């Protein structure tokens, strides 16, 4: 069955609908991901909430979907757009094909789309709202602003692991790999809702806190910045992706939206401390404005090699450390997993150790 992806700027891209639409129209911000692999993790990453994901690699689904590599309990994307979807998964762990998995969750899959032309349009004009429909003449309607963090965050605290080091993980839409990385390093981790007040955190008596990744504009969380500032000033802190942006905002810095964001498993980042380039996995639209950090007590440690954007900051006097990329992700190399070791050094030694 033919279907169409209409962009807000008037452009339309035709394709074949591999699964029925749950409604007549599916709306979402159209973004693209450049990795050859990792589609299962992308589909279940809460940071993709309310987005229509376009995969740039021409064949997606060739190793299927397994039952272990989910980043959350369900997929969060609005729809999936590919050039070709593999009909089955050629891997010993595969339990479902890409199409079968998406059908289970009523997520439309649009194939045989000219994804090269579509991605060029997004790169040139920027990410924008799109509408997936069977109507070739549909127009994109203005959508109400949404607050996706509240949709993906846990509703009550959950505890994992049993180590002596107790970490509180603020859930703005956390990836399971962050939790697994901390538990694997001997931590007890308490995952708490994004809006948990400081008094509740004090009662938990954590050794340190982690601010997770998550979807949407960080400024939607402006009312929580005073509480975030209070907590990160009190406990050793590691902040990832959206959490990184919230740390900067809580100290008076500013954020801005990139034209088409960073989404892929091959993003080069320069580490000014180690004087080396790391290959990172990323998924974000917003970044911290470099010039806005001038009047804050933060130094820029990590910088994106491609566009010079801020990829991580370190407080000069307090154990607060944040990264824009995903240190828990293994896009092939595991260049950035040492970030958790650095953080736990700070937590366990009670001193500033970034080496």
- Report d(CA 29, CA 48) in Å as an integer: 9
CB proximity list for 78: less than 8 A, separation 6 or greater: 26, 27, 28, 50, 51, 52, 107, 132
Tokens of 47: 């940071």
Whether 241 is catalytic is yes
Number of Cβ atoms within 10 Å of the Cβ of 306:
10
Residue in 39, 34, 37, 4 with CA at minimum distance from that of residue 21: 4
Whether 328 is catalytic is yes
C-beta of residue 177 within 8 angstroms of C-beta of residue 337:
no
End-to-end CA distance of the chain: give it in Å, rounded. Answer: 56
Report the residue count for the chain: 355
Write down the residue that tokens 């000014």 correspond to: 272
Which stretches of the chain are DSSP H helices? 39-43, 98-104, 115-125, 148-152, 176-184, 198-204, 225-232, 242-250, 338-349
DSSP 244-256: HHHHHHHTT--EE
Largest CA distance in the chain: 63
Of the listed 241, 262, 284, 315, which one is catalytic?
A: 241
- Kindly list the catalytic residues: 241, 326, 328
């Amino acid at each position: 069955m033919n279907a169409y992806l209409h962009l807000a700027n008037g452009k339309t891209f035709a394709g074949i609908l591999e699964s029925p639409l749950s409604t007549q129209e599916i709306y979402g911000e159209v973004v693209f991901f450049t990795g050859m692999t990792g589609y299962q993790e992308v589909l279940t990453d809460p940071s993709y909430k309310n987005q229509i994901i376009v995969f740039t690699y021409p064949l997606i689904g060739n190793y299927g979907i397994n039952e272990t590599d989910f980043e959350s309990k369900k997929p969060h994307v609005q729809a999936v757009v590919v050039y070709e979807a593999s009909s089955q998964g050629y891997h010993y762990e595969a339990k479902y094909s890409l199409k079968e998995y998406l059908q289970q969750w009523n997520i439309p899959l649009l194939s045989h789309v000219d994804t090269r032309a579509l991605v060029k349009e997004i790169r040139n004009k920027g990410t924008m709202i799109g509408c997936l429909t069977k109507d070739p003449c549909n127009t994109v309607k203005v959508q109400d602003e949404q607050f996706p963090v509240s949709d993906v965050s846990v509703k009550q605290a959950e505890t994992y692991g049993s180590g002596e080091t107790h970490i509180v993980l603020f859930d703005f839409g956390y990836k399971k790999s962050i939790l697994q990385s901390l538990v694997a390093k001997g931590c007890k981790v308490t995952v708490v809702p994004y809006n948990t007040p400081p008094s509740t955190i004090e009662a938990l008596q954590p050794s340190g806190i982690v601010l997770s990744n998550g979807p949407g504009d960080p400024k939607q969380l402006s009312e929580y910045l005073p509480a975030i500032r209070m907590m990160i000033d009190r406990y050793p802190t590691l902040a990832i992706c959206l959490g990184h942006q919230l740390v900067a905002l809580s100290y008076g810095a500013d954020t801005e939206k990139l034209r088409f964001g960073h989404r892929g498993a091959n993003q080069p980042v320069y580490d000014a401390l180690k004087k080396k380039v790391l290959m990172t996995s990323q998924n974000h639209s917003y970044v911290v404005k470099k010039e806005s950090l001038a009047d804050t007590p933060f130094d820029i440690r990590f910088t994106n090699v491609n566009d010079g954007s801020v990829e991580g900051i370190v407080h000069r006097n307090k154990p607060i450390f944040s990264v824009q990329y995903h240190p828990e992700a293994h896009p092939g190399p595991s260049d950035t997993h040492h970030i958790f070791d650095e953080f736990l050094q700070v937590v366990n030694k009670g001193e500033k150790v970034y080496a």
